[in-house]
Amino acid sequence: MLWVGSQLTIGYAAAPVLFGSLDRMTAGAIAAQLFRIEGLVGLTCGVLMLALSNVLVRRGAEPYRRLRWLLAGMLLCVLIGYFAVQPFMNALRVQAAVAGVDIANSPDAARFGILHGVSSFFYLICSLLGVALVWLLPAAWRSRAA
C-alpha cells in the first residue's frame, strides 16, 4: 500500500501540482528528487514484498504465486524507469544547466522528451500493476485464511 500509494500520489498529484505552480526548471528539479525517492521506495518495497511472497508460496499460499508476477513486473518497471532511464535524463538536465539553459531550450530537448516518454510509460505500467496488486491482495489474504 505504501509503495502504490506513494507512486500514485507523487506521479499523478504532486508532480502536476508542481508544474502548475512553479517555473519548469524548479518544478523539474523538485519532481526529479521526488521520483528519485520514489524509485528507492519502489526498489526497497519491491524486493521485500517479492521475498515475502516467495516465502508465502513455499508455505503453501498459492494465491501469492500470481502476485509474485505483478511484483516482479513492478520491480522491473522501477529498475528500467528509475535506474536505467533517469540517469540519462539527469545527465541531459545537468548538461543543459551547465550551458545556462533549461532542458526545454537545450539542443538535447528532443532526446530528453523521448527519454521522458519512455520513463512515463514505465511509470504508468508500474502504476497499473500496482493497482492490480492492491485489487488482488485482499483475495489472496481471504483464500489463505480459508
Q: For 14-23, 72-81, 136-145, which range has the lowest pLDDT when averaged over its residues?
A: 136-145
pLDDT in tens, 7-27: 999 999 999 999 999 998 899
pLDDT of residue 138: 67
The alpha carbon dihedral of 5, 11, 14, 16 has a sign of negative
Q: For the chain, what is the domain count? A: 1
Domain interval for residue 74 = 2-145
pLDDT in tens, 25-68: 899 889 999 999 999 999 999 999 999 999 999 998 888 888 89
